[in-house]
Structure 1
Amino acid sequence: MPKLVAVLIGVFVPFLLFSQKKNVVKKEIDTEIKMIAKKFKTESNFNKAQSFFIKKNWDSTLVYSMKQLDVGKKSELKDYCHYLRGRSFKEKKLFLEAKKELNKISDKFEFYYRVKISLGEIALEQNDYKLALQYFVILEKLPEELYDFKKSNALHNIGLCYLHLEKFDKAEEYLFKSAELQKAQKDTLMLISSYMDIANLYYTQYKDNEAIPYFEKAYTLSKKVKSFELKQNATLNMAVVEENRKKFPLALTYRKEYEIWKDSLNDQNKVWAIADLEKKFAIKQKQKEVNVLEAENKLKEAERNGFLVASVLLLILFGTGVYFYRQKIRNSKIILKQKNELDELNATKDKLFSIVSHDLRSSVNALKTSNGKLLENLENKNFEELDTLLHNNSTIANGAYNLLDNLLNWALLQTKQAYFYQESLHLASIVQHVEYNYKPLMLNKNIIFKNDVAASEYVFADLDSLKIVIRNFLDNAIKFSKENGSISIYTRPSSEDFCYLVIEDTGLGMSKSTREELLKETILLSKKKNDDIIGTGLGMQLCKSMIHKNGGRLDIESEENIGTKIIIALQKFKNHG
């Protein structure tokens, strides 16, 4: 029996701690932190710290909260900064640092009871059950309807402390209270943990007949949840129970099931590593596709020239004098037209390769220089500079990736190999999907973003090309916007045939001559005047081609140092009910 108890304690206690942590932060405190950030808009370090905290990016939270404490003068934000740092250290398992930060928070802090919760959980992690009990008993007396926490969790933790302190009567009282509340609240995950705790309580006292039904209840409930860890723990418990009851065939069945859940949990942990490899492979694959397209274009050009030569030879051999003369004139006109088109395409291609190679070289050189600084600051342990350099590297890599993506789409469009299918599309949903991918970039520059696209608008367009157009213009708006600027996407009153989508920013803007040049149909690719901003003009050319292919129009309204409005006219889907 003692061997069984030891195994069961090792199985369920870690999961309990995991479950408790998962339920500590509720929307109420998140909402309050966001409201404080809006109140102090000028405190950029605190705004970044709270944003990274909500996203559970603990390292960046620690960096910007420390910056706020170093340079910030708002005393109202100090308690919030220490709370963000204490929580971040706790999640990173740095308990000593977490306790130091949490103990710096004044008792006037609006969410001071959450400080007690965190300190209690740290004590529980460090097996200091008497200290943990002191914190959790305070929570028992607080009315749940007035405070942002689950009373069932507090009761559960109290019962767990008594269990480890071997005060079994008290442990039984609190664990059953917790289980009743969890059953009423339909908190299945925590209820499973409570059943396993109760079972272990009885096993510790050698009350097998009372313990086993609770292990069975935990196992039955675990089949209804998606947590592989819960399924694994509940199944292993049943295997150990059946082995102690000498029911070895049934125990073997549970053991096999345990291995299945264990493998599933391991597979889940490999997903992110596989996703990262797939991303790297996709970039290499796209580069290969560009190379293949270039080779195919050269082959087609050679085949076309050979066909023209063969045609001229046949006409010389079998044509009559008059027919030969007329055909000669006609062929000369065709050749001249094709030569002009070919010269124009070659000029565009040469210019494109020159600009793209220059920009890619600039990006790689910038990454090389930045990585050198990164290594230097890593040796000096200058963590603030490291954070800045890592964000710069991310910006450079995103720019280079967007350049390659536009190059591939442009090549597919020029060779007429791009898949194109127009259908009814809900414009607001498309914009919202693109917006989601660019929120981190806007947040990094403190750009205020508004999406006021009318929910009633449906357009008749190709999905992939429309996303490319919106993505390129939104990327340009972010790129040319200054810190603390704003970007808005909205729809103007539409006509009978067209819906007007506007992307407006408060960035650098452009002159009238630049705007007119960009709108010309015959414009070639050109380098932007601002050399600090990577760009080939390829994105604009690609967007214009795709807008026209969808039967739409493009217009630009802009003033230097005021901002730019990109106006895209798209065909409406008239048959939408």
Structure 2
Amino acid sequence: MDFNMRRLIFILFLALIYTETMSIEKIDSLENLLKNNLTYSEKLNVYFELIDTYLDTDIQKSFELIKKIEKTIKSSDSKAKLQLQLFTGIAYGKSGEFDKSNSIFNEVINQSKKLNTEEFLARTYLNMGLNYLRVGFIDKATDNINLAEKYAKKYNNINILAFINIGQGLIMRAKDKCDESIKYFFSAEKYFKSKNDLDNLATVYVNLSSCLAKSNLDEGMKYLIESIKINEKLNKLSNLAISYHNLGALYFEKKDYQESIKWLEKSLEIKQKMNNQIGIATTCLAIGEVYFSIKNYGKAQKYLNDALKILEPSQSLSLLMNTYQMLDSLNQKTKNYKKAHEYLNRYYEIQNKLNEVEKSKVVENLNMKYEIANKEKENAQLKRKYDKQYYISTIVIIAAGFIALLSVMLFIKNRNKKKTNKLLTLNKNIIEAKNAELANLNEELSLINDKLKESNLQKDKFFSIVSHDLRSPVSSMYQLIELMVRDYKNMTEEDKIESLECIQYSAKNTFDLIQNLLTWSRSQLNKIEFNPQLVNAFDMVALTISFIKPVADAKGISIINKVDTKEEILIDKEMISTVVRNLVSNSIKFTNPGGKITINIENSDNNNKIFSVKDTGVGIPDKIAETLFVIGSTISTLGTNDEQGTGLGLLLCKEFVEKHNGKIWLESEVGKGTTFYFTVN
């Protein structure tokens, strides 16, 4: 797969501008201060400075100190607790655990709003935005940094606004809008110069250099060297590692590969001392690219593999995509086409995932509009019903008043208590009847609401399948065909046959998915007629098995039909055949090669027929089993040979069984196998 090499090596670090930079003293000096007789507040301030220093030098020690301080904070000191939570989120972010970091930041945001301590919001949103920026979710990064700017302006926090300018500059850089990025960086530079804040000024310079270098390498290098001078003076190891990495990148741009490797290795040495895993992976990726450029494929492979070991368990999707991209190119150069295709597939999987995130926002907006329209419709219906109820209530009140008045008049006139009681009873019956009518109307509204929710779940399931599950096999076929067209002449016969088998497998997955999707869609539209007839159950099961036997044979799985050859049963043949086919296909998917699947029919106590499909597969955990037949909660799990599915087949089974006034359930033991049962009446 061809790509622009500069795009990969020039991943200039998003110099993290976490906004907890306090005055930094030497660690031993801060620890000596703790030995003095300090007040509670003074002691906390020293601890917080120590954490901030460790965040720059030793992440593990920062975690240890956070855990220690948790025990010393007073239960009533909510601000100190929030400050410590914020530090914890920053530490996880610097460790590359972005999901965990953002989860903590969300907790800080919720607590800040609850405790009315909104001064924490600007810093928290800024750091969360930077996390999203590092994993490549630009839109989410933009949303959070814009919220940070809103709260910083609300509290007139000029210091935070300067950091936000750096964040906005990084976003513009990620969007390849360098002119706008440079404006934000210069704005931040002006503020930090006025405060003589060398630490953060160096951060501005290292990011500014990445933009300027795009059009003028020498200009970019000038700012980068200035950043290195400041960081060496302040002994800021983490920032030095970033600057050395970027200097190596600039020498790569100048095609001075030996000098590039020299600075990248210096950066790597610092990151290894600090145990900065994501930083190590980024620099290994860059060194691997330099060796690739000078055709030293052995060393390139080593560094790229080192990067891959770190990035695959992480959430750094953009870096992982770059690594897969490099490994695809490397394996093509070394004529290992199978490996090249494997890495290319992984690259497209992540790309699809990122696309899904963007598309989910569009779907979310559509859903929001759809829900608003439904709410407006519901409100209109409720208003009409309320008006009707209001008119009914008014009439009832008037009628009641009239009857009461009449009753009094009759009482005064005739002194007839019996007649008066009769009228009062009639009045009570009228009111009770109207109340019952109102209760019925409320029940109707509840039913309408339930139907709307069910409709939404069905719509969401359909969107999920069309936008994701249908894309994967088609995308796989396209990539394989693209690879064959490009490298056909260089491929061996074995490679060609292997690629064609992969295409055949993807095509079958696509066909099976479309078949289930069309059947499910027709079922939702009530276009499948229920047509029960007397059929020979053994023959029906045997015919169904014949359709899927080749798949079972390919895995060495035997299918046994234990149905009585004389068993006759009144069913819709097409529906029950579909149920059996989906259940057996599911068993094949989760049964290891050499396993066994058994199909049987027995009589229940109430003369219903009980179908069973029993396998010797891997079994299903209870948590997953509970969700299998619930629309909107279905989970697609890879089979024993990485077969894919959507969970749609089991939903079809449930619908078709219920049309026979039956029910479907399962019994499973992990590691031993699963038996699906369903009844027909």
Does the alignment reach a TM-score above 0.5?
Answer: no
TM-score, normalised via structure 1 length:
0.41
Q: Which has the higher contact order (CA 8 A, sep 6+)?
A: 1
TM-score, normalised via structure 2 length:
0.35
